[in-house]
Amino acid sequence: MVAPEKPSGKGPSAALPKLNLCGDIGLKIGCDGTWFYRGGPIERKGLVKLFASVLRLEADGRYYLVTPVEKVPIAVEHLPLVAVEMWREGKGEAQSLRFRTNVDDVVTAGPEHRLGFQTGPNGDFIPFVVVRGGLRARLARPIYYELAALAAERPGAEGQGVWSGGMFFPFPEDVQPG
């Protein structure tokens, strides 16, 4: 069979129109991961998951809900997602740690989904896992305790951390589990 000279079917899509930046419509994510609209919590998990699926962290450091035609700013008190469940497979350097967020994203900590700590508003360290597109999920307190229980010595140096996905993730010096 010989290919036709002209490709058949639809041509490439036209570029999307410039996104319409909408003003503040009263969306906010609280420090515990609760989503709010005009001060009231959004009770429908399906709606929260839909919004979370279009949540983006932009280069300006702000969060937006981004659709093909518009972009809506959203206030985030701390981190937009919360890791609420953790599973461990294997041990030691072969260990993999999987996390589920409050909006049901599931990631395995490793090169693409790093574990880390950032400084909180009171100077404390807040553990997180990168979920997608730079979005971070704060580890809920019980999940952090589970993580701390898995602490291992840092290879070739002092300090502790955890293994996952073939990588060692160190704990900050001030957060060494007892």
CATH number at residue 148: 2.30.270.10
Whether residue 117 sits in one domain with residue 41: no
Domain hosting 157: range is 81-169
* Inside any domain, residue 151: yes
* Inside any domain, residue 86: yes
| pLDDT tens digits along 112-168 | 999 999 988 788 899 999 999 999 999 999 999 999 999 998 777 778 999 999 999
| pLDDT tens digits along 28-58 | 999 899 999 999 999 999 999 999 999 999 9
Domain count, the chain: 2
Whether residue 110 sits in one domain with residue 60: no
Cross-strand pairs, 108: 98
* Inside any domain, residue 122: yes
* Inside any domain, residue 158: yes
Mean pLDDT of the chain: 86
In the chain, beta strands by DSSP E: 20-21, 27-29, 35-37, 40-41, 55-57, 63-66, 70-76, 81-89, 96-101, 106-108, 115-119, 125-132, 135-139, 152-153, 160-164, 167-170
* Inside any domain, residue 2: no
Which residue, 55, 76, 97, sits at the end of a domain? Answer: 76
* Inside any domain, residue 60: yes
Which residue, 58, 76, 94, sits at the end of a domain? Answer: 76
